[in-house]
Amino acid sequence: MRTHISNAAYGVLDYAVYPMGMLLAAPILLKHLGVAQFGIWVVVTAAVSAGSIIASGFGDANIQYVASAQSRGDTGTLHRVVRSMMGINLLLGSMLALIVWLLGPFAARHVVASDISLQRVCLWSLRIASPLMLVRAVESVCISTQRAFERYGAAVRTSILARLMALASAVALACRDHGVISIMAVTGILIALGAAVQLVELRKRLGGSSLLPWFDERTTKALVSFGVFSWTQAAAGVVFSQADRLILGISLGATAVTSYALCVQMAQPIYGITASGLHFLFPYLSGRQALAPPAALRKSILKAFTINLLLVAVGTVLILLFGRFLLHLWVGEAIAERASTVLAPIVWSFALLGLNVTGYYTLLAHGHVRTVTWLNLAGGTVMLLMMIWALPRTGIHGVAVARLSFGLITLFMYCPLLRILFRATSAPLQVTSIYPLGEDL
C-alpha cells in the first residue's frame, strides 16, 4: 500500500508541479521578454510538448510488456523490450525532429508575420526545439520503463528537477535581458542532462544491460501491435485537446476563446489529477493480470474505482461551488461573468472523463488497447461534430455542452471491463492483445 501511495503522489507531482511553475514564471517572462518574444516562447514550448507526446506515444506498450515480463522473471524478454522500444522512439523522435526543422521557416513566417528579426528568433528557437523532441522521446523510454517497475519516484524526481531548472533558468536569463534563443539553448542542455541521468539510472536498474537500440523482430512486432493504437490515441489527443479552441477562435474571436480556455484550464485537473494519481494501476495490473486470481484483481480494481469516484466527486464539487469566485480573483469580473455560462458543462465534461480512468488503465493492462482507442476516437469525433453543429445555433454554450459527448461515449469502456471482472474464477485472467507475450516474445 505504501508503494501505491508513493507512486500516486509522484504521479500527481509529475502532472502538477511544472504547470504551477509555468503559472508563476509567466508574468516575469512576459514583463522582461515583451509580448512578442513571450508569444514565441509559448509557441515553441507548446511545440516541444506536443511533439514529445507524439514521439513517445508507444510508451503504454512499453509499460504493458515490461511489467508482464518482470512479473514472470523473464529478464531476456524485458531487455529486448526496452532496447526495441529505444529503437522505435529514436526513429519516431528523429522523424519528428527533422519535420520540425524543415518546417521551421514556414512556421516562423506565420507566427511572426511582420518582423524579420523576430522571425529569425522564432526560426532558431524552433530549430533548437526540434532535437529537444528527440531527447524527450529517448527520456520517455526511461520513464515508462521505471513506471513499469512501479518506481515512479526514480523517474519523476529527475524529470521534475530538470524541467524546473529549465524554467528557473528561463526566468533568470529573461531578467538579464537574454532572449528566447538563449532560453531555449539552456533549456535544451538541461533537459539533455536530465535524460542522461535517466539513462544511467535505467542501465543500473537493468543490471548494466545495454540500452542501444535493437529491433528484435518478434519483440518489435508485439510492441508495434499494441503501440500503434496508443500512439494513435496520443496523436488524436493533441488534436482533440486544441480543436475546440481553434473552432471558437475562428468563429467567435479571441474574447470567446479566452473565457472558454480559462474554464477548461480550471476544470482540467479533475481529470488530470485523477489520471496521474491512479496511473500506477496500469503497471500494477499489467504485471499481475496473468498470474493473480480474478477475485484478487476484482478487489483491487473495485478499490481503485472507489478512489477514482471520490477524487472526481471532490474535484467537481469544489469547482462548481468556488469556480466563479476563483475566476473573479484570477481574471476579473468581466471575463469571469462571460466564463460562468460555460463553466458547469465544462466541469461535468471533465468529471465524465475522470470516471473513465479506472476502466482505461484496466483495459490497457489486459491488452484491450483497440477497444480503448476506438472509443476515444469515436468520442472525440462525435464531440467535434457536435461542436460544429451547435456553434451557429447556441454559440459558446453549445460548444461547452458538446464536450459532454466525449466522456459519455468513453464510459462504454466499462462494458468490456465488467466482462473481465466477472468472468469465471477458475482461471487467471489473460492478456487479450493480438500478440500475447507468451507467444510473440
- pLDDT higher than threshold 80 for residue 428: no
Looking at per-residue confidence, does 4 or 411 come out higher? 411
Share of the chain above pLDDT 70, in %: 89
Tell me: the pLDDT tens digits for 213-248? 888 888 888 888 888 888 888 888 877 776 776 676
- Taking Cα atoms as reference points, which of 255, 402, 269, 394 lies closest to residue 338? 255
User: 73: phi > 0 → left, psi -120 to 50 → alpha, else beta; which?
Assistant: left
d(CA 268, CA 286): 27
- pLDDT higher than threshold 80 for residue 198: yes
CB 52 within 8 A of CB 140: yes
Looking at per-residue confidence, does 182 or 289 come out higher? 182
For the segment 48-75, the average pLDDT, to the nearest whole number, is 84
Collapsing DSSP to helix, strand or coil, 41 comes out as helix
For the segment 12-31, the average pLDDT, to the nearest whole number, is 81
CB 215 within 8 A of CB 158: no
d(CA 130, CA 132): 5
- The C-alpha cell of 185 is what? 539553448
- pLDDT higher than threshold 70 for residue 437: no
Tell me: the pLDDT tens digits for 152-172? 887 788 888 998 999 999 999
Residue 250's pLDDT is 63
Collapsing DSSP to helix, strand or coil, 248 comes out as helix
Share of the chain above pLDDT 90, in %: 28
**125-141 burial by CB neighbour count: b if 16+ within 10 A, else e?**
bbbbbbbbbbbbbbbbb
Q: Which of 18-22, 259-263, 319-323 has the highest mean pLDDT?
A: 319-323
Looking at per-residue confidence, does 291 or 346 come out higher? 346
| Phi, psi dihedral angles at 430 (to 5 degrees) | -125, 150
- pLDDT higher than threshold 70 for residue 429: no
d(CA 340, CA 230): 35
**288-324 burial by CB neighbour count: b if 16+ within 10 A, else e?**
bbbebebeebbebbeebbebbeebbeebbeebeeebb
Q: Give residue 249's pLDDT band: very low, low, confident or very high (50, 70, 90).
A: low
- Taking Cα atoms as reference points, which of 83, 79, 86, 81 lies closest to residue 55? 86
- pLDDT higher than threshold 60 for residue 419: yes
Across all residues in the chain, what is the average pLDDT? 83
- pLDDT higher than threshold 70 for residue 436: no
**Which residues, other chains included, contact 39 with Cβ-Cβ below 8 Å and sequence gap of 6+?**
111
Residue 424's pLDDT is 42
Residue 438's pLDDT is 38
The least confident of 203-212, 379-388, 407-416, 429-438 is: 429-438
Residue 431's pLDDT is 42
Residue 257's pLDDT is 66
Collapsing DSSP to helix, strand or coil, 260 comes out as helix
Looking at per-residue confidence, does 274 or 246 come out higher? 274
The least confident of 12-26, 179-193, 245-259, 400-414 is: 245-259
d(CA 97, CA 211): 21
d(CA 253, CA 276): 33
- pLDDT higher than threshold 90 for residue 308: yes
For the segment 396-416, the average pLDDT, to the nearest whole number, is 90
| Phi, psi dihedral angles at 253 (to 5 degrees) | 100, 175
Q: Give residue 208's pLDDT band: very low, low, confident or very high (50, 70, 90).
A: confident
pTM of the model: 0.77
- pLDDT higher than threshold 60 for residue 266: yes
For the segment 298-317, the average pLDDT, to the nearest whole number, is 90
